[in-house]
Chain A
Amino acid sequence: MKLALKSLLTASATALAVAVAAPAMMAEPPQTDYEPPRMPDGTPDMQGYWTNASLTTLEKPDNLPIIVPEKQAMMMAGLIEASAEADNAPTDPDAPAYEAGGAEVGGYNRFWMDFGSALAKVRGEYRSTWIVEPADGKLPYTEAGRKMAEDRLNEQREDYDNPEVRAAAERCTVGFGSTGGPPMLNVLYNNNYQIVQAPDKVAILVEMNHQTRMIRIDEEHRPEVMDQWLGDSVGSWDGDTLVVETTNFEPDISLRAATRHRLYMSPDAKVTEHFTRISPEEIFYEFWVEDPEVFTQVWKGEMILRQAEGPIYEYACHEANYSLPGILAGARREEKEAATAGGSK
């Protein structure tokens, strides 16, 4: 099949607004007769490898309805497949260098990417957004909250004075875009998790940056002064659903930006997550974000974590992070050039 991708992309500039179809608001996981495997203590066994790689994004894209018709979802998958094939196709070995500042400026070949090949199917519907509350699928920022997000984003775009001002992901402290969560969101690659359970702990190993969320069961939160990179998570079992509440976020991870979302959460945010195994291959993942300083309301997302092939691969970001010194050295060079051009030295 030959797809006129270029024409499609050109046409997208004049894309028409489409009606928003909100998914049914449901506070409970989907009804199912599925009986999960169980741990020796009787709790559902959710151990194994899981992924949330998907074309579905945190917020609703402007040009898609919340619930995407199956035919359209398959067309999207086809377009993504076609674009991957095009990017992976051979290149003219005699072609010249790219044009300076041209249309090809960017990172690297598609084969390094693993962002998913289709929209996620949640409650039997192809969804364009994980957000179900508010019904428009958009983050309900307060004016002040949106400004906080934009200010932090601008700071990271313009301030190269020292490592501390750079994004936590650049510094290899956490994965970018809230892949480690909570809430655990999908990004460009490494969307893989391993869950390991014990009676008093549930551990979620996050492939990006090789971090582990340690969820302490039936315990109290630590004192507020004890911030943690992925927050302080305590869990409990509500029937067959694992309920996790997280507070005490480290201020440096407030901006959880990725290519396709700009999530900002204050250190005082509270995230509540529900993990319910609904089939051999799926965990139904719900999350609520409560942060009155930043959002006008508690907002909710629904996601499916799908069974994945293991293992989780190490992501020892610190060990070979040439990028951060390179970024800072680049800024120093630009400053020197600017000073020279200005005649100050």
Chain B
Amino acid sequence: MNKKSKLYALAGVTAGALAVVGAASAHHAFSAEFDAEAPVLLRGEVTKVEWVNPHTWIHLAAEEEGSDETTAWMVEGGTPNTLLRNGLNKKSLQVGTPIIVRGYQSKDRLCAPACKANGRDITLSNGEKVFMGSSGTGAPNDGTDPRERRGPKTELPDVEPN
């Protein structure tokens, strides 16, 4: 197999892995609970963090455009276990922290006690991811990367499929 073929083959699998991230169905299918046709953009301060399984819920008082009023929203995240393993906990996101949420509203459209959406992208006001804003809280690392086992990282081949 030539180099290009290898890259294609590799990319095929990597695409699968990336799709896992993008479509992350977790313990249920995204499409079963949320409406892909109902995107939301929420800005507001965190009012509560539910550090629970199977999904974390981050509550916020979302600002109403052109008004001083706010609306209660709660946004779904993944399991907190992965973050716990990386040294994070429910205190890592403090009440009162301004956040921006891009996601999709729940199909039920129920807004009691709060409107619901998934937290496809949850960032701080400067755009940093809420649980990635400080050093030392990197992506989960399971120790299987062969380069880690060898100590210092070796240089990876440059991948430019042209």
A interface residue numbers (CB < 8 A to B): 1, 3-5, 7-9, 11-12, 14-16, 18-19, 51, 53-55, 61-65, 70-81, 83-85, 87-93, 95-102, 104-121, 128, 157, 160, 167, 169-170, 172, 175-176, 188-191, 207, 259-260, 306, 308-309, 313-317, 319-324, 326-327, 329-334
With a CB–CB cut-off of 8 A, which chain A residues contact B28? 167, 169-170, 323-324, 327
Which of B7, B108, B144 touches A53 (beta carbons < 8 Å)? B144
Q: Is the CB of A77 within 8 A of B77?
A: no
Q: Is the CB of B15 within 8 A of A12?
A: yes
6 further interface pairs, Cβ-Cβ under 8 Å (given A12-B14, A260-B16): A75-B157, A91-B127, A109-B77, A112-B24, A118-B146, A259-B23
- Give the Cβ gap from B142 to chain A, nearest Cβ, in Å: 4
With a CB–CB cut-off of 8 A, which chain B residues contact A327? 28, 32-33, 107
- Give the Cβ gap from B33 to chain A, nearest Cβ, in Å: 5
With both beta carbons as reference points, the residue of chain B lying nearest to A62 in the complex is identified as: B12
Q: Is B70 an interface residue (CB 8 A)?
A: no
Q: Is the CB of B14 within 8 A of A9?
A: yes
- Give the Cβ gap from A131 to chain B, nearest Cβ, in Å: 16
Which of B13, B50, B83 touches A112 (beta carbons < 8 Å)? B83
Q: Is the CB of A1 within 8 A of B158?
A: yes
Q: Is the CB of A111 within 8 A of B142?
A: no
Q: Is the CB of B11 within 8 A of A9?
A: yes
Complex CA–CA separation, A90 to B126 (angstroms): 8
- Give the Cβ gap from A289 to chain B, nearest Cβ, in Å: 23
Name 27 A/B residue pairs within 8 A (Cβ), A-sorted. Answer: A11-B11, A16-B9, A19-B1, A64-B9, A76-B10, A88-B129, A88-B132, A93-B125, A93-B126, A97-B39, A97-B40, A99-B39, A106-B24, A107-B24, A107-B30, A108-B121, A111-B129, A112-B79, A112-B82, A128-B13, A189-B79, A315-B54, A319-B53, A321-B54, A322-B76, A323-B76, A330-B33
Which of A12, A71, A157 touches B157 (beta carbons < 8 Å)? A71
Chain A contact residues: helix, strand, loop or mixed:
loop
Complex CA–CA separation, A84 to B9 (angstroms): 20
Complex CA–CA separation, A80 to B17 (angstroms): 8
With a CB–CB cut-off of 8 A, which chain B residues contact A83? 14, 17-18, 21
Which 10 residue pairs of A and B lie closest in terms of their CB atoms, listed nearest first? A112-B78, A330-B107, A107-B24, A63-B12, A320-B52, A329-B108, A97-B41, A8-B11, A90-B127, A12-B11
Q: How many residues of B are counted as interface, with CB atoms below 8 angstroms from the partner's CB atoms? A: 97
Complex CA–CA separation, A176 to B76 (angstroms): 18
- Give the Cβ gap from A316 to chain B, nearest Cβ, in Å: 6
With both beta carbons as reference points, the residue of chain A lying nearest to B57 in the complex is identified as: A322
Q: Is the CB of A4 within 8 A of B161?
A: yes
Q: Is the CB of B120 within 8 A of A107?
A: yes
- Give the Cβ gap from A325 to chain B, nearest Cβ, in Å: 8
With a CB–CB cut-off of 8 A, which chain B residues contact A89? 129
Which of B8, B9, B104, B155 touches A105 (beta carbons < 8 Å)? B104
Q: Is the CB of A323 within 8 A of B55?
A: yes
Q: Is B143 an interface residue (CB 8 A)?
A: yes
Complex CA–CA separation, A33 to B35 (angstroms): 56
Complex CA–CA separation, A119 to B145 (angstroms): 8
- Give the Cβ gap from A98 to chain B, nearest Cβ, in Å: 4
With both beta carbons as reference points, the residue of chain B lying nearest to A210 in the complex is identified as: B53
Q: Is the CB of B140 within 8 A of A79?
A: no
With a CB–CB cut-off of 8 A, which chain A residues contact B33? 323, 326-327, 330
With a CB–CB cut-off of 8 A, which chain A residues contact B137? 111
Which of B20, B22, B80 touches A260 (beta carbons < 8 Å)? B20
Complex CA–CA separation, A8 to B156 (angstroms): 16
CB contact under 8 A between A118 and B144, given known A316-B52, A320-B50: yes
With a CB–CB cut-off of 8 A, which chain A residues contact B122? 108-109
